[in-house]
Amino acid sequence: MSNMSNSVKAALGKLLVLLAWSGVGCTTPTGIQAETETVTVEKVLSWLPGNTESIVVAESFIFDSKIDGDMSLVPEFQLLTLAAFFVPGRDGPNKTGPIAKAMEGAGLRFGLKAGRQFRHKGGVGPISYEGCDIAVFDDAKIVDKVWKTVEKLLGKRVQNMSVIAVVLEEEIEGIKWTYYLARPRDKVLLCASNETYLKEIVKRMEGAEQSNFLEAIRIRDEWKVVEREDSLVWCIRIFRPENAMLDPGSPLNKSNALGPFQDRSARGSGFSLAKDRKTLLAWYLGGAKDCMENGRRIWMPPQSGIGGKAKLVEEGIVRLAIDLSRLSDSVSITFIARCMTGHLVFL
């Protein structure tokens, strides 16, 4: 491992090359590891730290950076999985940065957003978290184009490294955010919000035998109940007691932003949207007492206009089938679903 401390100045922001890791295996001439096997969602989950709290996955879509367009459920969560790519190098709030513009029209095998340790640092805007947006593309040539945009921001090219971490700083409503970009595979881009989290991903990608999220989630009820096959988007959220008191999206937190109640037995939640886009299947996992009521209060709050069928499938697990065709608009359900991913936005 080698550390780099030379700072450079680019027209679109303050950038640093912080980290570069030496690698093993087959590499391309630019030091990027070629894809020798198909990168699947489960493969990516095996790269994530075991204490990850939230994953959002959008399957097989075309990247559209027009953030002022349709914000209904599907595009909202397709963009959420890759939202970090919009920010670096942008020239103002609510603007699309050059990296996202370079991704315009690209075919995505899937986008995946992973997060943990959600915190509200005050003010308006998105809450902070440790995590990473992971874009897995259909075509490596598109990624070549995107990475050239990153290199232009960087101002120079670094070779003979398996992973190059490019760091960009951005201030949002007085809060400094740092983005770590890397291209560890020819069809894979990473944009992490935290240096430690990125380093943990890379260690697992390089074969380190450490606990990972796939191993951790496979034994939990959330993995067993959330429908993932043939879903356009899906999410699994774990409520961890050790982080709850600072997490405004956790029902374990009595000061949560989900409503005037606290569920000390909350374990997790999740949702999936099938390709017909007619029904959102949501799940709430808690204790035996009041689980049905709490599931309804979160996913079908009074006066929201959200309706559907709730069923206690077994003790402590509620399944809610929400009929999207009966909603006058998708704003309420999109807002609730986003809250349940952990990625709240304070207005």
- Integer Cα distance of 98 and 304 in angstroms: 37
- Integer Cα distance of 345 and 234 in angstroms: 19
**Predicted confidence (pLDDT) at residue 156 exceeds the cutoff of 50:** no
- Tell me the pairing of strands 7-10 and 128-137: unpaired
User: What is the predicted pLDDT for the residue at 201?
Assistant: 93
- Integer Cα distance of 341 and 31 in angstroms: 35
pLDDT digits (tens, 9 = 90+) for 243-271: 888 888 899 988 877 766 788 899 999 99
Picking from 95, 196, 82, the residue whose alpha carbon sits closest to that of residue 146 is 82
Query: Among 162-166, 190-194, 305-309, which stretch is predicted with the lowest mean pLDDT?
Result: 162-166
CA dihedral 39, 40, 42, 44 (to 10 degrees): 40
User: What is the predicted pLDDT for the residue at 32?
Assistant: 62
Longest dimension (CA), the chain: 59
For the chain, the distance separating the N- and C-terminal CA atoms, rounded to the nearest angstrom, is 42
pTM of the model: 0.86
Within the chain, strands assigned E span 2-3, 7-10, 13-21, 54-62, 107-119, 125-126, 128-137, 163-172, 175-185, 188-192, 231-238, 268-274, 279-285, 308-314, 317-323, 345-346
Query: Among 70-84, 186-200, 327-341, which stretch is predicted with the lowest mean pLDDT?
Result: 70-84
Picking from 336, 241, 326, 205, the residue whose alpha carbon sits closest to that of residue 282 is 336
Q: What is the mean pLDDT of the chain?
A: 82
Picking from 181, 197, 192, 202, the residue whose alpha carbon sits closest to that of residue 23 is 202
